[in-house]
Every structure is written in structure tokens, then in C-alpha cells.
């Protein structure tokens, strides 16, 4: 696990998915939440990844984009 993932877990994240290791991470996020979707998505990259965020976020969840879109 990468340092930033370990840090997120230490700060209280219940799960972390590193997109470098899991390219289809929206599917993995839905699996982790039994199909409900995630409450918070912190994005530090733009591009095609935004569509995966929309697919993975729960109803009423939040997507925070930091950086280039």
C-alpha cells in the first residue's frame, strides 16, 4: 500500500482504493459498499476518471476535485 493510502487510513478512511493498482476502481468501490456507493470521493486527477467517480458515488455523496479538471 502506498504512503498516501496508509495516511488516508490513519486519518479515518474506512477503505482506500489506489487507482494505479485498480484501474476499474468504481466497480471496486461499489463492491466495498454492497452497491450503495461511497459517501466521499477525493479526486486529485482529472480526465476520464470523473466518469468513474460519478458511477461510484452514493446518492447524496460528495466528489471533491482538487487540481486540474
Instruction: Tell me the DSSP string of 7-59.
Output: HHHHTT-S----TTT-TTHHHHHHHHTTTS-EEEEEE---TTHHHHHHHHEEE
**pLDDT reported for residue 68:** 66
**pLDDT reported for residue 4:** 85
Domain residues of the chain, as ranges? 3-65
- Output the CA–CA distances (angstroms, integers) from residue 54 to 11, 37, 43, 48, 51, in the order listed: 24, 10, 11, 11, 5
**pLDDT tens, the chain, 69 aa long:** 689 889 989 999 888 888 889 989 999 999 999 999 999 988 877 666 788 999 999 999 999 988 765
**pLDDT reported for residue 1:** 66
CATH class of the region 3-65: alpha beta
**pLDDT reported for residue 46:** 65
Amino acid at each position: 500500500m502506498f504512503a498516501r493510502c496508509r495516511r488516508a487510513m490513519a486519518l479515518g478512511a474506512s477503505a482506500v482504493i489506489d487507482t494505479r493498482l485498480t484501474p476499474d476502481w468504481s466497480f471496486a468501490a461499489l463492491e466495498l459498499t454492497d452497491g450503495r456507493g461511497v459517501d466521499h470521493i477525493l479526486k486529485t486527477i482529472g480526465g476520464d476518471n470523473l466518469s468513474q467517480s460519478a458511477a461510484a458515488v452514493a446518492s447524496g455523496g460528495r466528489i471533491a476535485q482538487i487540481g486540474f479538471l
